[in-house]
Amino acid sequence: MALSNEEVLAGLAELITDETGIAADTVELDKSFTDDLDIDSISMMTIVVNAEEKFDVKIPDDEVKNLKTVNDAVTFIVKAQA
Amino acid sequence: MTTPRLTQSTGPQFTRILGLGAARGEHAVPNADIIEPINSSDEWIRQRTGVITRARAGAEVHAVDLATTASLEAIERSGIPAERIGAVIVATISNTVQTPSMAALLADRVGANPAAAYDISAACAGYTYGIAQADALVRAGVAEYVLVVGAEKLSDIIDPTDRTISFLLGDGAGAAVVGPSQTPGISVSSLGSDGSKWDTIGMTATFDQWRAGDVDAPTIRQEGQTVFRWAVWEMAKVAKATLEAAGVQPEDLAAFIPHQANMRIVDEFAKQLKLPDTVAIARDIADTGNTSAASIPLAAHRLLAEHPELSGGLALQIGFGAGLVYGAQVVVLP
């Protein structure tokens, strides 16, 4: 069953915390991965691969560069699940 | 007239690595010396790559010089006379001499003339390809002993302003002598490629474009994120399959010696393989840098120098890089 935006956000926040140690409640939709959350390209790819597994979706390499904010990632994952 | 029956060669049943040798560029270049052209910082490089200094060779030292030093040590440690080496295989991507091969010159320098001699281009997997070939050549009876060398002077093909890979790279050579063994010492090798990612690591231009004056001298680049994903998650599958084909469990390993591409790759790779704490993990990249084909033998040589008790133990070695290509096998450490 497809997850809601809120559920994907919560799950993504968990993955981000696991990879970077950032507090989950600071992972908000309008935050930029690089500018606000200070997530580097290697951590980003680790989060992407873990998100693929967690949400059972495919996030192609070419798509990763378009995921600039948390909202971009949540929206992509929710759509990809549909 | 009767057709004569051909003689085909046969060799010993098993092989192993008899000795290793190492040579690194003589200059330890700290992050502070290279950050300005890439507008970066020591912290940025350490955090993303784990590299603190990289070994680089001076202008007068060529890859074949590093290869010679490493090979002479490997031959001495193996305890066999150089004239019994029947083949010399050099894995390299940075030789600025297009032809003849580095291997022919090296064979002559180390006293192995007239051994078969050739270079192979399998980038950071080159050493593992070379070990697989050496194992096959010895077991087929083509050569009694084979010298396998990964030799790179990558500082010849970098761009100091490149933020994708150049700052990671170092110069060095690692050598191994492979020969007959009473017991299995080199497992089944997993060798493969994915040419659909051919352009994810490579040169900025071709030699003919440069000659035409259209571009600057070709230098190396990579698409870091794509390569990182492939190098960890796809290579973890190859590593697991290699262990299975070898009949080895992770807890049987004494050491894990992945290509020293980036410390973050080494760390994530070890995590994916769920290696027990008893397995020593090679982390030579911190002060050698990424030396492509030389990185696995350099890292193995260092592990044995720092932990001589690992000698005789099993090591999983896996190389992966431009092509994209990969190679892996389990070996008994000399």
Instruction: Write the CATH number for A41.
Output: 1.10.1200.10
DSSP letter string, B77-133: HHT--GGGEEEEEEE-S--S--SS-HHHHHHHHTT-TTSEEEEE--GGGHHHHHHHH
Quick one: pLDDT at residue B176? 98
Q: How far is CA B247 from CA A54, B54, B113, B250, B283, in A?
A: 31, 36, 38, 10, 25
- Taking the CA of residue B216 and the nearest CA in chain A, the distance in Å comes to 28
Evaluate whether the domain defined by B190-332 bears CATH number 3.40.50.720: no
Chain A residues closer than 8 Å to B223 by CB: 61
Name the band, by pLDDT with cuts 50, 70 and 90, for residue A1: low
By Cβ distance, the residue of A46, A48, A65 closest to B268 is A46
The answer on pLDDT for B1 being more than 80 is: no
Contact state of B225 with A41 under an 8 Å Cβ cutoff: yes
Give dist(CA B210, CA B217) in Å, integer. 6
Give dist(CA B204, CA B216) in Å, integer. 9
Which chain A residue is nearest to residue B234, measuring alpha carbons?
Answer: A49
Q: Global pTM?
A: 0.93
Give dist(CA B322, CA B259) in Å, integer. 12
Instruction: Answer whether B117's CB lies under 8 Å from B109's CB.
Output: no
Give dist(CA B133, CA B115) in Å, integer. 15
Instruction: Answer whether B295's CB lies under 8 Å from B150's CB.
Output: yes
Across the range A57-72, mean pLDDT stands at 92
Name the band, by pLDDT with cuts 50, 70 and 90, for residue B83: very high
Catalytic residues of B: 124, 259, 290
- Other beta carbons within 10 Å of B71: 32
Tell me the HSE value of A15 on the side-chain side, using a 13 A CA sphere.
24
Across the range B55-80, mean pLDDT stands at 98
Convert the pLDDT of each residue in B157-180 to its tens digit. 999 999 999 999 999 999 999 999
Quick one: pLDDT at residue B290? 97
Q: What is the mean pLDDT of chain B?
A: 96
**Angle in degrees, CA B37, B42, B48, rounded to 5:** 95
Q: Which residues make up the CATH 3.40.47.10 domain(s) of chain B?
A: 14-181, 190-332
- Other beta carbons within 10 Å of B308: 9
Chain A residues closer than 8 Å to B262 by CB: 42
Give dist(CA B227, CA B321) in Å, integer. 8
- Taking the CA of residue A4 and the nearest CA in chain B, the distance in Å comes to 27
Q: Which residues pair with B186 in a beta bridge?
A: B331
Across the range B2-31, mean pLDDT stands at 96
Contact state of B225 with A49 under an 8 Å Cβ cutoff: no
Fold (CATH) for B14-181: Peroxisomal Thiolase; Chain A, domain 1 (3.40.47)
Chain B residues closer than 8 Å to A64 by CB: 225
Directed axis angle between helix A70-81 and helix A5-20, to 10°? Answer: 120
Q: What is the DSSP letter of B168?
A: G
**Residue A48 corresponds to which tokens in the numbers above?**
């992407």
Quick one: pLDDT at residue B225? 87
Number of domains in chain A: 1
Domain that holds residue A56: 5-81
Name the band, by pLDDT with cuts 50, 70 and 90, for residue A81: confident
Share of chain B above pLDDT 70, in %: 100
The answer on pLDDT for A82 being more than 80 is: no
In which element (H, E) is residue B221 found? Answer: strand B220-222
